[in-house]
Structure 1
Amino acid sequence: MDDSLIIYVVASMVTVMAISCWRRRCQKSLAPVPSGYGKVFKSHLFGKPTIVSTDPEVSKFILQSVSEDFVPFFPGSLTELVGKSSILVINGSLQRRVHGLIGSFFKSPILKAHITADMQRDLQEIMASWRDDQIVYIQEEAKYMVFQIMVKTLIGLGPGEHLQFLRHQYQKFVAGIISIPVKIPGTRFYRSLQAKKRMMKLVKYIIQEKKKNNTGCISRDIIDAFLNDGSGQLTDDLILDNVIDLMIPAEDSVPVLITLAIKYLSDCPLVLQKLKEENTKLKHKSLEGEDLQWMDYMSLSFTQNVISETLRMGNIIPAVMRKAIKDVEVKDHFIPEGWCVLPYFRSVHLDKEIYDDAYKFNPWRWKDKDTAASSFTPFGGGQRLCPGIDLSRLIASIFLHHLVTGFTWVAEEDHMVNFPTVRMQRNMPIKVKRKNIDILLS
């Protein structure tokens, strides 16, 4: 996918690379606004002269500009890992076609219905094994759950030996995305490349089997959607690169969204109580024998506000990088051809001039507020807006619903870290206790 993540996936991993090392020495001045620099200023990243934008309007212009003005920028090592046919790299009409196919598939009501049913079943099975006073590591549980759901969505692969193999290889692959690009046996980068080759072999076999049996009917997974395109533009290499890249949010950004939401809820009893009240009303519906649908979860307004506030505070995708392919002017700022630009979302999301009490977790701030505003860009924007926005929210909503209606918990001490990616240092351990159903019914 494009700018974010979700299943988008991610200019995020790359951008974190770009700014994390740099941020160690200037994060204090970048958040919320770089003191003495202004909201748009010059820097130097990856050996490239770079314009950093913490101005929402300038960043919006950059994100919405067509490929005749800006193209994605990635280090050469990253391009080698994600592949030259990845939607993260390609531009123009082909990028728009692939982005459109992915977006249409992820927005499909049929897909959302399947994901809702699968996730409800899988969560119930997993949570049924939790014992009172057991320590549960939310970040690991979320990664396991989301990866399983997304692999089925992308390639139609269910639980079993092949899924375990794929997850093991994928963890090696993701670990190499942020590493020194040295292709010598034993290095993390080399292991990442080898892991991708092994994954591609499995996915290629699945593609070939689907081609033999493809009837051009309903798309049950993203490979079906690509094969049913009919344009002749989508080669096997393009399908391979994009299917594997689309798994990144399943291992990283979506599980982290769930984990951070639970971290913030654990620290904010009033927010947690309000979330419980809203979700308990929905729980009554299922206890009365009605099957919950994806629309039920998405209609939980306060739950959606909690997710929005988690995205604002957590900044799972803190920035993206673009490269100017011609001279560009915006708001009296001149961006020379060949320079990189970095819209830095984190600074905007924590800007006290935009958000009152910006460092406070306050989901009520999103009541009647437009989440499509230029000052809120957790999924990127423009033609490379993450096509998995709704899917990410749905998955997080289902997980939160089952946790808050099924359990109470006490969070153990843990800390959020930002390098090399945003995550909880100890995987967010919580001590759980199962709720009494009779109390829920009362």
Structure 2
Amino acid sequence: MLLAKNENAVHMREKQIANEIIGLLIANHDTAITNVVNHLAEFPHIYNEVYKEQMEIAKSKAQGELLNWEDLQKMKYSWNVARETLRLAPPGQGAFREAATDFTYAGFTVPKGWKTYWTVHSTHKNPKYFPDPEKFDPSRFKGNGPAPYTFVPFGGGPRMCPGKEYARLEILVFMHNIVRMFKWEKLIPGLRLIYAPAPIPEKGFPIRLHPLHN
């Protein structure tokens, strides 16, 4: 970004660069975390599995010792819960794509320059790849997980979101801390998402926290 120029050989302004970096660091983190909290409230058996996994990690730490990278690698079930959340409510819904060359797909000729809109739900909610696609089921991601390029909340290929690993770290550290300290209940039954442009609760997401320890 510091070196990039537009067609008039003008560099990006400092404010533009700052906005791009802020977007990389915090874009949609609240969306993903809110929906994780929603699903853990809705499915107590899933909350219990996450709690058990996180407590095993907590018990292996010395007093006051912080999480490290190895601890994050042990949070396999918790990350499966987060991934299933991202499958059902991905932060980005889709993007426009432009054909770089003429090509034929499924009997249709697509000319160079043709713009199409692609949405993640073309695979995320496709029963061919995710049976019973509206069901919340973290076990879909056990083992090798879904087929390549079917689960794409961060995109895929060379243009995959560079913040993917940061998002993973942020979500897992949040889950580790909240489930060890609290149970919670939703104060508004159900959760209707609206897209503005990321999926957010229509009426906010008030919860009542119940501390697990004095």
Same fold (TM over 0.5): yes
Alpha-carbon distance in structure 1 between the residues aligned to 2:66 and 2:197: 41
Secondary structure of the corresponding residue to residue 168 of structure 2: helix
The one-letter amino acid of 1:278's match is E
What residue is the counterpart of 1:336 in the other structure?
111
Match of 2:160, as an amino acid? L
Cα gap change, 1:241 to 1:371, in 2 (>3 Å) = farther
Could you tell me how far apart the structure 2 residues matched to 1:316 and 1:370 are?
Answer: 20
How far did residue 328 of structure 1 move? Answer: 2.5
TM-score by length of 1: 0.43
Find the aligned partners of 2:127 and 2:208 in 1 and give their Cα distance: 35
Of residues 96, 99, 121, the one that matches 1:346 is 121
**How far is 1:260 from its partner?**
0.8
- Contact 1:261-1:310 at 8 Å conserved across structures: yes
Cross-structure match for 1:272: 47
Q: Is the CA contact (8 Å cut-off) linking 1:326 and 1:337 kept in structure 2?
A: yes
- Structure-2 residue corresponding to 1:254: 29
For 2:183 and 2:24, the matched residues in 1 are separated by 28
> Which amino acid in 2 is paired with 1:256?
T
Please tell me the residue identity of whatever aligns with 2:205: M
Aligned equivalents of 2:203, 2:85: Cα separation in 1: 19
- Equivalent residues of 2:28, 2:198 under 8 A apart: no
Extract unaligned runs of 5+ from structure 2. none
Partner of 1:376 in structure 2? 151
- What RMSD over aligned residues (CA atoms) do the two structures have, in Å? 2.6
Aligned residues: 208
| Matching of residues 355-374 of structure 1 within 5 Å | 355-370=130-145, 373-374=148-149
Query: 1:7-406 counterparts in 2 under 5 A?
Result: 237=12, 240-248=15-23, 250=25, 252-286=27-61, 288-370=63-145, 373-406=148-181
Say whether the 8 Å CA contact 1:265–1:272 is kept in structure 2: yes
Matched, 1:423 2:200: yes
Bigger radius of gyration: 1
> What amino acid is aligned across from residue 345 of structure 1 in structure 2?
V
Contact 1:328 1:335 in 2 (8 A): yes
Distance 1:426 1:249 in 2: 26
Tell me which of the two structures has the higher relative contact order, counting C-alpha pairs closer than 8 angstroms and 6 or more residues apart.
1
Report deviation, 1:415. 2.6
Q: Is the CA contact (8 Å cut-off) linking 2:129 and 2:147 kept in structure 1? A: no
Letter in 2 for 1:248: G
Q: Distance in 2 between matches of 1:295 and 1:236?
A: 41
TM-score norm. by structure 2 comes to: 0.85
Which letter does structure 2 place at the counterpart of 1:427?
A: G
Quote the offset at 1:271 in angstroms.
0.9
1:254 positional shift: 1.6
> Matched residues in 2 for 1:331 and 1:282: separation?
49
**Cα distance in 1, alignment partners of residues 14 and 74 from structure 2:** 34
Query: C-alpha displacement at 1:258, in angstroms?
Result: 0.7
Deviation track 1:103-132 (CA, whole Å, cap 9, x = no partner) reads: xxxxxxxxxxxxxxxxxxxxxxxxxxxxxx
Structure 1 residues without counterparts, runs of 5 or longer: 2-84, 91-234, 438-442
> Could you tell me how far apart the structure 2 residues matched to 1:303 and 1:424 are?
22
Q: Aligned partners of 1:408, 1:341: CA distance in 2, in Å? A: 44
| Alpha-carbon distance in 2 for matches of 1:249, 1:434 | 33
Task: Write the distance in 1 (CA, Å) between the matches of 2:209 and 2:13.
Answer: 44
CA distance in 1, matches of 2:171, 2:120: 21
Instruction: Please tell me whether the aligned partners of residues 298 and 394 of structure 1 are also in contact (alpha carbons under 8 angstroms).
Output: no
Q: Which has the higher strand share?
A: 2
Q: Identity rate of aligned residues, in percent?
A: 25
How far apart are the structure 1 equivalents of 2:181 and 2:11? 44
In the alignment, the residues of structure 2 paired with residue 269 and residue 343 of structure 1 have an alpha-carbon distance, to the nearest angstrom, of 35
CA separation in 2, counterparts of 1:239 and 1:331? 45
Q: Which has the higher helix share?
A: 1
* Partner Cα separation in structure 2 for residue 273 and residue 370 of structure 1: 22
User: Deviation per CA, 1:86-119, whole angstroms, max 9, x where unpaired?
Assistant: 9xxx8xxxxxxxxxxxxxxxxxxxxxxxxxxxxx
What CA distance in whole angstroms lies between the structure 1 residues aligned with 2:139 and 2:151? 15
The Cα shift of 1:347 comes to: 2.7
Counterpart Cα distance in 1 of 2:67 and 2:196:
38
Separation of aligned partners in 1, 2:184 and 2:195? 25
Say which SS state the counterpart of residue 210 (structure 2) adopts: strand
Structure 1 residue 325 displacement after superposition: 4.0
Query: Could you tell which deviates more after superposition, 339-348 or 325-334?
Result: 325-334
Distance 1:384 1:378 in 2: 12
Distance in 2, matches of 1:286 and 1:406, equals: 16
Offset of 1:308 from its aligned partner? 0.9
Structure 1 position 367, deviation (Å): 0.6
1:280 to partner: Cα distance: 1.1
Give the Cα–Cα distance (whole angstroms) in 2 for the partners of residues 250 and 432 of structure 1.
Answer: 27
